[in-house]
Amino acid sequence: MRRFWLVFSQAVTVLLAAYFVVLTMKPEWLQQRPVTSASTGVALSEAPQQPNAPPPPGSFRQAAQKASAAVVSINTLKAGEKPSSNDPWFRFFFGDQGGVPQSGLGSGVIISPDGFILTNNHVVEGATEIEVTLNDSRKTRGKIIGTDPETDLAILKVALDRLPVVTLGNSDALQVGDQVLAIGNPFGVGLTVTSGIVSALGRNQLGINTFENFIQTDAAINPGNSGGALVDVNGNLMGINTAIYSRSGGSMGIGFAIPVSTAKLVLEGIVKDGVVTRGWIGVEPADLSPELMETFGVKARKGVLITGVLQNGPAAQAGIRPGDVVAQVGGKDVANVSELLSTVAALKPGTPTQFKVQRRDDTVEATVTPGRRPKPKPQNGQAVPGLPGR
């Protein structure tokens, strides 16, 4: 009998040891349970349901869920142009006919419990009706609070309660290689999340907007994503998806988003003052090139060349001349026209600012009091070649 109990206890010990080894190394073996299909009678192996199970390693589930709730779909109706309105023969035979209304599709991001929505200007530009659809299927009319064509941003407002709000992140902390998610409604198929990395920062001179400082990403962005969210792996808003480079009309892995730092300035200006106020000094700048340097006798190797100065403008009154090279604005280095434009635009009109200027062999300090930047002239129907996803 003692021998029997000894064998039994040893067997139990081995089985318990094997159980704990399997529980530690292969817990899924213990979770699976056979299930018989009612239609085929075949025994299947199915994992038990775990409604609150943590996401698997590498999953972006939590970031997607956190940000997606605040991303909306925007449908617009725009009045169509009258066909052949300038053709007298057309009017003679067919009379004056109204244009066919055109529908548009885009995305937006809820940024305030008060109902403010951030989107692209080109999504709502010229719209006579705007319908906003939330992720929870609620629909309502959207009202344009203000637009800023120079950054291609617009602010809408909806009158709904219990609105989900996105968390604004710090786009200045982004680095090339960081993982990001693009969220929007491409081609009207519904809310879609794609992933990628930050491919480049500070993209400019693309001819899309006046002020360009784009985040470039390879996360799939397609028509309909415009105005949607670019978020980090924590679900914080990093940018507003705006454009793609494409030869086919679809994503080719080159997408552009406006940094949330720029969007904050636009939002503050529109909500507070109704317009975005920017600084202006009245100069015609150009990037340094061997030809221009020879023409103006410039010896500086860094900065922005001033090729023209508006008479009686802020720069002229401060003594800046054609041929000067602006090296710093308010203590900040400027290396190209885009940086000078953005830096000057961020200045507060009426507040004197120090400019460091290279004039041939001399360094000159000029105190410039910027004025208010004039409103841009509307560019009706201007297309951007190679960027059909704007």
Q: Indicate which residue of 68, 73, 107, 122 is catalytic.
A: 122
The DSSP secondary-structure symbol of 377 reads P
Distance (Å, whole) CA 212 – CA 205: 7
Distance (Å, whole) CA 340 – CA 211: 10
> What per-residue confidence (pLDDT) applies to 374?
81
218 is a catalytic site residue: no
* 306 strand-pairing partners: 285
Distance (Å, whole) CA 216 – CA 40: 51
Distance of CA 219 to the CA centre of its chain: 12
Distance (Å, whole) CA 178 – CA 198: 5
Q: Indicate which residue of 68, 73, 152, 218 is catalytic.
A: 152
Inter-CA distances, 311 with 31, 165, 281, 292, 325, Å: 80, 48, 11, 22, 18
Distance (Å, whole) CA 177 – CA 298: 38
Q: What is the pLDDT of residues 327-362, one digit of tens each?
A: 899 888 888 888 888 889 888 899 999 999 988 888
> What per-residue confidence (pLDDT) applies to 211?
78
Distance (Å, whole) CA 221 – CA 243: 8
**CA neighbor of 123 nearest in space, from 213, 238, 241:** 241
> What per-residue confidence (pLDDT) applies to 124?
92
Distance (Å, whole) CA 15 – CA 228: 56
> What per-residue confidence (pLDDT) applies to 159?
92
**CA neighbor of 117 nearest in space, from 102, 127, 106, 104:** 106
The DSSP secondary-structure symbol of 371 reads E
As a dihedral over the C-alpha atoms of residue 206, residue 182, residue 193, residue 196, rounded to 10 degrees, the angle is: 90
> Is the distance from CB of 365 to CB of 350 less than 8 angstroms?
no
290, two tokens: 């061997």
Q: Map residue 63 onto helix, strand or coil.
A: helix
Q: Indicate which residue of 73, 171, 199, 226 is catalytic.
A: 226
> What per-residue confidence (pLDDT) applies to 160?
92
Query: Which stretches does DSSP call E strand in 222-282?
Result: 229-232, 236-244, 255-259, 279-280
Inter-CA distances, 65 with 69, 109, 277, Å: 7, 14, 36
> Is the distance from CB of 154 to CB of 121 less than 8 angstroms?
yes
Give CA angle at 203 (201, 207), nearest 5°. 160
> Is the distance from CB of 34 to CB of 45 less than 8 angstroms?
yes
The topology (CATH level 3) of 279-372 is: Pdz3 Domain (2.30.42)
> What per-residue confidence (pLDDT) applies to 120?
94
226 is a catalytic site residue: yes
The CATH 2.30.42.10 domain(s) of the chain lie at: 279-372
Residues in the chain: 390
Enumerate the H helices of the chain as residue ranges. 2-25, 27-31, 61-68, 88-94, 121-124, 260-273, 290-296, 314-317, 337-345
Assign domain 63-81+99-273 to its CATH architecture: Beta Barrel (2.40)
Distance (Å, whole) CA 209 – CA 387: 12
**Residues in contact with 185: Cβ distance below 8 Å, sequence separation at least 6, in sequence order:** 71, 73, 105, 106, 107, 191, 192, 224, 225, 228
Distance (Å, whole) CA 364 – CA 325: 10
The one-digit pLDDT tens for each residue of the chain (390 residues) are: 666 667 677 777 777 777 766 666 666 665 555 555 555 555 555 556 566 677 778 788 899 999 999 999 999 988 765 545 555 555 554 555 555 556 778 999 999 999 999 999 999 998 899 999 999 999 999 999 999 888 899 999 999 999 999 999 999 899 999 999 999 998 888 889 999 999 999 887 777 777 788 999 999 888 888 999 999 999 999 999 998 877 666 677 889 999 998 899 888 888 887 888 889 999 999 888 888 887 888 777 788 999 899 998 999 999 999 989 998 998 888 888 888 888 898 888 999 999 999 888 888 899 999 998 887 655 443 333 333 333
The CATH 2.40.10.120 domain(s) of the chain lie at: 63-81+99-273
> What per-residue confidence (pLDDT) applies to 43?
54
> What per-residue confidence (pLDDT) applies to 239?
94
Q: Which amino acid is at 316?
A: A
The DSSP secondary-structure symbol of 114 reads T
Task: Give the CA diameter of the chain.
Answer: 116
> Is the distance from CB of 130 to CB of 72 less than 8 angstroms?
no
* 110 strand-pairing partners: 117
